[in-house]
Amino acid sequence: MQVSTTFYEGFGGAQLALHRLGTGRPVILLHGLFSSAEVNWIKYGTAAQLANAGFACLMPDLRVHGQSAAPHDPAAYPPDVLARDLEALVDHLALDDYDLVGFSLGSRTSARGVVAGLRPRRLVLAGMGLEGLAGWSGRQEFFIDVIDRFGTIRVGDPAYMAQQFLKTMKIDHQAARLLLGTMADTDPADLGALTMPTLVLCGDKDNDNGSADRLAAALPDARRATIPGTHMSSVTEPAMGAELVSFLTSPA
Q: What are phi and psi of 29, to 5 degrees?
A: -120, 120
Q: What mean pLDDT, rounded, does the chain reach?
A: 95
pLDDT of 166 reads 86
Pick 4-134+186-249's CATH classification: 3.10.20.30, 3.40.50.1820, 3.40.50.1390, 3.40.630.30.
3.40.50.1820
Whether this model's pTM surpasses 0.85:
yes
Q: Is 144 exposed, middle or buried (0-12, 13-18, 19+ CB in 10 A)?
A: middle
Q: What is the pLDDT of residues 30-65, one digit of tens each?
A: 999 999 999 999 999 999 999 999 999 999 999 999
pLDDT of 140 reads 84
Helix (H) or strand (E) holding 143: helix 136-148
Q: Please, which residues bridge with residue 198 across strands?
A: 123, 222
> Do 225 and 199 contact (CB within 8 A), yes or no?
yes
Distance in angstroms (rounded) separating the CA atoms of residues 58 and 151:
34
Instruction: Give the residue-averaged pLDDT of 3-27.
Output: 97
Distance in angstroms (rounded) separating the CA atoms of residues 252 and 247:
10
Distance in angstroms (rounded) separating the CA atoms of residues 13 and 74:
14
Half-sphere exposure of 79 (CA within 13 A, CB side): 5
DSSP conformation letters of 185-235: PPPGGGGGG--S-EEEEEETT--TTS-HHHHHHHSTTEEEEEESS-TTTGG
Instruction: Give the residue-averaged pLDDT of 80-101.
Output: 97
Q: What is the pLDDT of residues 115-163, one digit of tens each?
A: 999 999 999 999 999 999 998 777 888 899 999 999 999 999 998 998 9
